[in-house]
C-alpha cells in the first residue's frame, strides 16, 4: 500500500483501520479471538495504522489491539485517545486535566501491552481545561518517550491553532466524507497552513455510502445510528438517498464499488489525508483497501464536487447530547 505522511513526520500506509466497531456502536461484536484474528488479517492485507480509544468498550478495544500486535509492535502504528472520565466503567463526562490524562495514558499503555503510543489524541476538547495546558502535558509525554506524536479530535480551527503553538500537532481526526464535508471550510485551510495531517473517520458515512442502508431501514438494538437524526428519521434517510445513487453511478463508471469510490474521493482531497474506515469483515476490508487503486482526474474531482454541492443533505450527524461535546 502507498504511504502518506501526517504532520511532516509520521509515515503511515494511506488507509488505516478504525477499530471501534469491534467492540462498540455496531453490534454484533466478534469474540475476542475473532477480533484478534481480524486485526492480524488487516495487517497481512497491508494496514499498519490502527485507531482505537480508551472509551471504545470502554477499555476492551485497546485490549484487542494490544493482544493482536504485542509480538509485532514495531510493525504497526497505534493511535489511541484520552479525554473522558469514568465511574463504574461508564462515561460521566469530559476531563482533560493533567491527572486524568496521566491516568488514561498508563491504562492505555497497559492494555495495549506497549511502552509507547504512536499517536495520542485528545478525544474531545474539554472546555474546563485550557488546550494550552493539555499541549504542555503532551510536550512532557513526548520528551519522556511515552508518546511519539499527539493530535486532536473534533477540534475547532481556533483550538488547533492554540494547541499547535505550544506543542506541534501531528494530526487532527474528525468525521469527513461525501456525506459530511464541513471540515473543508475552516479545518482544511488551517491544517494546510500549519502542515498538520488529517485522519477522517466515517469516510463511508457510517455505512451509508456503501449502499447497504435502505430507505426505511430499522437498525438493530445497540446500533448507535438509532440515535442519529440522519438515520433514525425516515424522511431524512429517504431524501439523502440521492447521494447514494450518485455514488453508485460513479462506481459503475469506474468499474468498482461505492465504498471504493467514497474512500477514493477522500484520498483525492489531499496527500496529507489518511482515512480510517472501520469494519469487522475481511471482505469489506479488502473492498475498502481497493480504494487505493481508484484514480480521479482533476476534471472528475471538479465534476464530483460540483455535484456534491448540489445535493442537499438533511439531518444532524449526531444526537443533541453528542453535538454538545463538539468544539465549535
Selected catalytic residue, list 56, 86, 149, 176 = 56
Give how far the C-alpha of residue 92 lies from the chain's centroid of Cα atoms, to the nearest Å: 22
Is 318 catalytic? The answer is no
Q: What are phi and psi of 31, to 5 degrees?
A: -70, 170
DSSP annotation of 163 reads H
Q: Rounded CA gap, 29 and 221, in Å?
A: 12
DSSP strand E in the chain: where? 3-6, 10-13, 17-18, 49-51, 77-82, 84-87, 90-94, 117-122, 147-153, 171-175, 197-201
Question: Measured between alpha carbons, how far is 112 from 116 in angstroms, rounded to an integer?
Answer: 9
Element (H, E) at 167: none
Catalytic residues: 56
Amino acid at each position: 500500500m502507498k504511504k502518506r505522511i501526517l504532520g511532516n513526520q509520521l509515515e503511515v500506509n494511506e488507509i488505516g483501520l478504525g477499530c471501534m466497531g469491534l467492540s462498540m456502536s455496531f453490534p454484533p461484536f466478534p469474540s475476542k479471538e475473532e477480533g484478534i484474528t481480524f486485526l492480524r488479517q488487516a495487517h497481512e492485507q497491508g494496514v499498519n495504522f490502527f485507531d482505537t480509544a480508551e472509551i471504545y468498550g470502554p477499555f476492551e478495544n485497546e485490549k484487542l489491539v494490544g493482544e493482536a500486535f504485542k509480538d509485532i509492535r514495531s510493525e504497526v502504528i497505534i493511535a489511541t485517545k484520552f479525554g473522558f472520565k469514568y465511574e463504574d466503567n461508564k462515561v460521566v463526562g469530559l476531563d482533560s486535566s493533567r491527572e486524568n490524562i496521566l491516568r488514561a495514558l498508563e491504562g492505555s499503555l497497559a492494555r495495549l501491552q506497549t511502552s509507547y503510543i504512536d499517536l495520542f489524541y485528545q478525544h474531545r476538547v474539554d472546555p474546563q481545561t485550557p488546550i494550552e495546558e493539555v499541549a504542555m502535558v503532551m510536550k512532557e509525554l513526548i520528551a519522556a518517550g511515552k508518546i511519539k506524536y499527539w493530535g486532536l479530535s473534533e477540534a475547532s480551527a481556533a483550538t488547533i491553532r492554540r494547541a499547535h503553538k505550544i506543542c506541534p500537532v501531528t494530526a487532527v481526526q474528525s468525521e469527513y466524507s461525501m456525506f459530511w464535508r464541513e471540515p473543508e471550510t475552516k479545518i482544511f485551510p488551517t491544517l494546510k497552513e500549519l502542515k498538520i495531517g488529517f485522519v477522517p473517520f466515517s469516510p463511508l458515512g457510517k455505512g451509508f455510502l456503501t449502499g447497504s442502508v435502505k430507505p426505511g431501514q430499522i437498525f438493530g438494538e445497540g446500533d448507535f445510528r438509532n440515535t442519529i437524526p440522519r438515520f433514525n428519521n425516515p424522511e431524512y434517510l429517504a431524501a439523502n438517498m440521492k447521494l447514494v445513487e450518485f455514488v453508485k453511478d460513479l462506481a459503475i463508471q469506474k468499474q468498482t464499488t461505492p465504498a471504493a469510490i467514497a474512500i477514493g474521493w477522500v484520498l483525492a482531497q489531499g496527500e496529507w489525508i489518511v482515512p480510517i474506515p472501520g469494519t469487522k469483515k475481511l471482505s469489506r476490508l479488502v473492498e475498502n483497501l481497493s480504494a487505493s487503486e481508484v484514480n480521479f482526474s482533476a476534471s472528475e474531482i471538479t465534476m464530483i464536487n460540483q455535484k456534491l454541492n448540489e445535493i442537499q443533505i438533511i439531518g444532524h450527524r449526531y444526537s443533541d447530547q453528542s453535538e454538545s461535546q463538539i468544539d465549535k
